[in-house]
């Protein structure tokens, strides 16, 4: 079977063929030539795959956030009748009432709470903690940490030194095995005992496990330790 490859690799790069293909801008004959080419050319095939993946993932991500106002768009002007319609008491009074309620709640509830929280961060305080240093060792009983509800707590951890890894990742698994949070730890910091501040107890009292994985320079992850502990919430 003879198939002529009319477009070569240099042509496809020079023409931005992959981009034009994905944008639907290639004329029919050039499109067919590019297709003949990318079926045979590893680099262009990979390029096209990544371009297509970029577009597909972009659609998902861009759909998550509503667009900002587009100042370049010319919005249709409202007629005077429409403008006056917004000022009708039957519409305006309830809207103002809702706005007043929102402002009042913010001023009397939300902002004072936030101020209190910010102020509390400036004060010294004891924090519940548990040492996981030996919990990876067989025969050692599980550590227990008693934490006030909604409060953070400290986990003390020693990671075995291993030159294979450029960083580590600590993942907290909840009582049912689900991932609560993960934390990347540079290898340099892992040489010392680590105090990890867990934000709060996400799943209530129960048995938790901190799983530590070593990350190599080629991004391969290898589990280096599992550190179980019990967490008890005090109301």
Partner 1 sequence: MQFHAFDESYLQRLCSGDFRTETHFVDYFSELIQLKLRSRVKSPQVVEDLRQETFARVFTALRTEGRLKQPERLGAFVNSVCNNVLLEHYRAHSRENPMEEDADQKLPDTSMDVVSIIAQKQMEDKVRQILEELPERDRRLLREVFLEAQDKDIVCKNFGVNREYLRVLLFRAKQAFKELYIKRVPASARDATAG
Question: C-alpha 27: how far from its chain's center?
Answer: 40
What is the three-class DSSP state of 63? Answer: helix
| Interface pick for partner 1 out of 10, 14, 24, 81 (rule CB under 8 A) | 24
Q: Per the structure block, which two tokens stand in for 42? A: 């590893």
Contact residues for 222 (Cβ-Cβ < 8 A; gap 6+): 164, 165, 213, 214, 216
Shortest distance, position 14 Cβ to partner 1, whole Å: 12
Q: Per the structure block, which two tokens stand in for 120? A: 């509390």
Does residue 218 touch partner 1 according to CB under 8 A?
A: yes
Number of residues that bind partner 1 (CB under 8 A): 47
* 172/26 Cα distance (integer angstroms): 50
* 132/16 Cα distance (integer angstroms): 55
Does residue 47 touch partner 1 according to CB under 8 A?
A: yes
Does residue 70 touch partner 1 according to CB under 8 A?
A: yes
| Interface pick for partner 1 out of 10, 14, 27, 63 (rule CB under 8 A) | 63
- Which of 40/98 has CB closer to partner 1? 40
CB 201 within 8 A of CB 194: no
Does residue 39 touch partner 1 according to CB under 8 A?
A: yes
- Which of 72/113 has CB closer to partner 1? 72
* 97/92 Cα distance (integer angstroms): 9
Stretch that binds partner 1, among 12-20, 102-110, 116-124, 191-199 (CB under 8 A): 12-20
Does residue 35 touch partner 1 according to CB under 8 A?
A: yes
User: What residues line the site for partner 1 (CB under 8 A)?
Assistant: 1, 3, 5, 16, 18-25, 31-32, 35-36, 38-42, 45-55, 57-63, 67-68, 70, 72-73, 218-220
């Amino acid at each position: 079977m003879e198939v002529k490859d009319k477009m070569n690799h240099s042509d496809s790069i020079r023409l931005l063929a992959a981009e034009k293909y994905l944008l639907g801008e290639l004329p029919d004959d050039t499109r067919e030539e590019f297709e003949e080419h990318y079926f045979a050319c590893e680099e262009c095939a990979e390029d096209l795959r990544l371009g297509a993946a970029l577009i597909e993932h972009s659609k998902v991500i861009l759909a998550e956030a509503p667009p900002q106002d587009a100042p370049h768009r010319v919005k249709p002007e409202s007629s005077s009748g429409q403008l006056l319609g917004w000022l009708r008491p039957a519409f305006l009074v309830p809207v103002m009432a809702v706005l007043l309620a929102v402002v009042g709640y913010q001023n009397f509830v939300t902002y004072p709470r936030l101020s209190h929280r910010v102020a509390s961060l400036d004060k010294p305080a004891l924090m519940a903690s548990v040492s996981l240093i030996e919990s990876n060792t067989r025969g050692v009983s599980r550590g227990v940490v008693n934490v006030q509800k909604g409060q953070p707590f400290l986990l003390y951890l020693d990671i075995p030194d291993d030159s294979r890894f450029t960083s580590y990742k600590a993942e907290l698994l909840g009582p049912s095995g689900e991932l609560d949070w993960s934390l990347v730890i540079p290898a340099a910091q892992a040489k010392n005992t680590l105090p990890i501040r867990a934000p709060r107890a996400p799943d209530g009292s129960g048995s938790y496990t901190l799983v530590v994985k070593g990350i190599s320079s080629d991004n391969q992850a290898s589990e280096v330790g599992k550190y179980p502990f019990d967490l008890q919430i005090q109301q």
